């Protein structure tokens, strides 16, 4: 009941005491909100009709103004949002099985960001170790902490994108939960964005002053090879585009977000490649530390993710790695089919029809297993779901075969060129199988 008068008084106080943002603030220059910068604008009031005619109210001078402000405060329009305590920096932390790391990271953020209005969004893919429970516990004690718990999904890039889009600070940072990134660099990164010197700040291991000594030889080699490929093929200028540690202006990120891939690990590379040189980037060195608890989720399969991203960016998103993998698996299926057919005919002396059916069944099964481990490894079916998925896959491929033969016949009817008809049929089959498998077998929840 006292809330409204109190709100009015606070509003009047803020109206007369708020300060304008500093002239060099890039956020101010581009209409990005900065906490504490907003002013009550008398001109806006009169234009938008908030200024009450004093004669009608029978009040004099100053009182009229006061009432006008009260009116505006009681009915806050879009021009007068309450900005008290709004974060300037949103820190996004992707997590998967990081139970023992998140509290330490939170404390470190609290210590290092004491001069900045910040918030942290943990995006957890329903970690079996219950990381999200620990984060919820932190969030219950500190409203700057939030937890997005994603169910039925995996993927570092997707998690980062969702975290950034679920927050609103004018600057967004991405940092790993496992304390391998150096969070004490964050204030420096904010300063670079604030000054307008950069739109993207990259924590870099590969410029002077930075290092990745904690990498083993194999990992260091792979990382450097990928960096070289990215720099040459995608014309990326940054020294460490594989870094998982960066900060970006929200407005720039929101522009790029619809074109970013949610699959894979390489969100920074994706951001830089998608911006096509139109993002002012500055790198600052840091030392990639070693993991304290838990283990790395990067396996040798990330090489595939990397290839997929390079391919997608090179072809302007026409070719997706998933489709390519699916088609390649289909190619191996053909070999498996022929080998099985040969064995059934020559060794088991089966009649052709049975041998051919056996070939198809074995090929479909091996395709299913390969797709489950490669093409859809982020949505891998496990346990009982494997059997259900396999039966559905047989069904999808069965219908795909009908579509294949149907199209081949139709083409052959028009143009009796055997390889053209065969190719058209095979293409129809693989596109059908791909589309339907994605819908029914490895469907997103």
Nearer to Mn ion, 97 or 180 (CB): 180
Residue pair 173/250 in contact (Cβ under 8 Å)? The answer is no
Residue pair 212/180 in contact (Cβ under 8 Å)? The answer is no
20: which DSSP letter?
Answer: P
How many whole angstroms separate alpha carbon 319 and alpha carbon 305? 13
Q: Count Cα atoms within 13 angstroms, Cβ side, for 209.
A: 8
How many whole angstroms separate alpha carbon 293 and alpha carbon 178? 7
Smallest separation (angstroms) from ligand GDD to the CB of 297: 4
How many residues sit in the footprint of ligand GDD (CB under 6 A)? Answer: 22
Binds ligand GDD (CB under 6 A): choice among 37, 149, 154, 377:
154
Chain positions contacting Mn ion, by CB under 5 A: 176, 178, 180
Calculate the alpha carbon distances from 81 to 39, 72, 172 in Å.
Answer: 10, 11, 21
Does 229 bind ligand GDD (CB under 6 A)? Our answer is: no
Smallest separation (angstroms) from ligand GDD to the CB of 296: 3
Name residue, tokens 């008809």: 421
Binds ligand GDD (CB under 6 A): choice among 11, 33, 87, 155:
155
Residues 237-296 close enough to bind ligand GDD by CB under 6 A: 242, 244, 265, 296
Does 298 bind ligand GDD (CB under 6 A)? Our answer is: yes
Binds ligand GDD (CB under 6 A): choice among 119, 178, 199, 305:
178
Smallest separation (angstroms) from ligand GDD to the CB of 178: 5
Nearer to ligand GDD, 274 or 433 (CB): 274
Q: Which does 330 bind (CB under 5 to 8 A by kind): Mn ion, ligand GDD, none?
A: none
What would the two tokens of residue 121 be? 């969004």
Does 169 bind ligand GDD (CB under 6 A)? Our answer is: no
With CA atoms as reference, report the closest residue to 431 among 395, 399, 392, 387: 399
Smallest separation (angstroms) from ligand GDD to the CB of 404: 35
* Dihedral sign, Cα of residue 146, residue 148, residue 154, residue 159: negative
Q: Which does 376 bind (CB under 5 to 8 A by kind): ligand GDD, Mn ion, none?
A: none
How many whole angstroms separate alpha carbon 294 and alpha carbon 101? 8
Does 312 bind ligand GDD (CB under 6 A)? Our answer is: no
3-state secondary structure of 147: strand
Interface ranges with ligand GDD (CB under 6 A): 94-96, 98, 123-125, 154-156, 159, 176-178, 180, 223, 242, 244, 265, 296-298
């Amino acid at each position: 009941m006292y809330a409204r008068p109190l709100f009015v008084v606070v509003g009047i106080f803020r109206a007369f005491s708020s300060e304008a943002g500093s002239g060099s603030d890039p956020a101010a220059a581009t209409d990005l909100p900065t906490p504490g910068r907003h002013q009550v604008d008398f001109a806006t009031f009169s234009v938008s009709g908030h200024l009450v005619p004093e004669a009608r109210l029978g009040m004099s001078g100053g009182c009229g103004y006061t009432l006008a402000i009260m009116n505006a405060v009681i009915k806050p329009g879009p021009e007068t949002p309450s900005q008290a305590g709004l974060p300037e920096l949103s820190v996004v932390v992707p997590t998967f099985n990081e139970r023992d790391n998140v509290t330490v990271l939170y404390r470190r953020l609290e210590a290092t960001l004491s001069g900045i209005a910040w918030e942290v969004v943990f995006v957890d893919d329903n970690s079996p170790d219950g990381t999200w429970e620990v984060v919820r516990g932190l969030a219950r004690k500190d409203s700057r902490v939030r937890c997005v718990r994603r169910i039925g999904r995996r993927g570092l890039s997707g998690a980062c994108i969702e975290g950034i889009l679920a927050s609103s600070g004018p600057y967004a940072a991405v940092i790993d939960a496992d304390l391998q990134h150096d969070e004490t660099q964050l204030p420096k990164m904010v300063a670079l964005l604030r000054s307008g010197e950069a739109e993207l700040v990259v924590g870099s291991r590969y410029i002077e002053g930075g290092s990745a000594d904690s990498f083993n030889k194999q990992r260091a080699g792979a990382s450097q090879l990928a960096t070289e490929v990215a720099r040459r093929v995608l014309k990326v200028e940054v020294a460490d585009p594989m870094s998982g540690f960066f900060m970006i202006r929200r407005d720039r990120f929101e522009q790029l977000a619809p074109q970013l891939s949610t699959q894979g690990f390489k969100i920074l590379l994706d951001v830089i490649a998608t911006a096509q040189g139109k993002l002012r980037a500055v790198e600052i060195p840091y030392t990639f530390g070693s993991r304290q608890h838990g283990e790395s989720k990067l396996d040798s399969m990330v090489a595939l993710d990397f290839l997929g991203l390079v391919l997608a960016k090179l072809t302007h998103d026409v070719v997706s790695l998933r489709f390519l993998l699916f088609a390649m698996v289909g190619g191996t299926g053909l070999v498996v089919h022929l080998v099985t057919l040969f064995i059934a005919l020559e060794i088991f002396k089966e009649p052709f029809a049975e041998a051919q059916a056996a070939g198809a069944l074995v090929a479909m099964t091996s395709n299913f297993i390969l797709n489950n481990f490669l093409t859809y490894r982020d949505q891998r079916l496990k346990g009982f779901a494997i059997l259900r998925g396999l039966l559905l896959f047989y069904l999808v491929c069965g219908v795909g075969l009908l579509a294949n033969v149907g199209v081949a016949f139709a083409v052959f009817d028009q143009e009796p060129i055997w390889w053209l008809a065969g190719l058209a049929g095979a293409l129809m089959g693989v596109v059908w199988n791909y589309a339907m498998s994605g819908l029914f077998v490895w469907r997103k929840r």
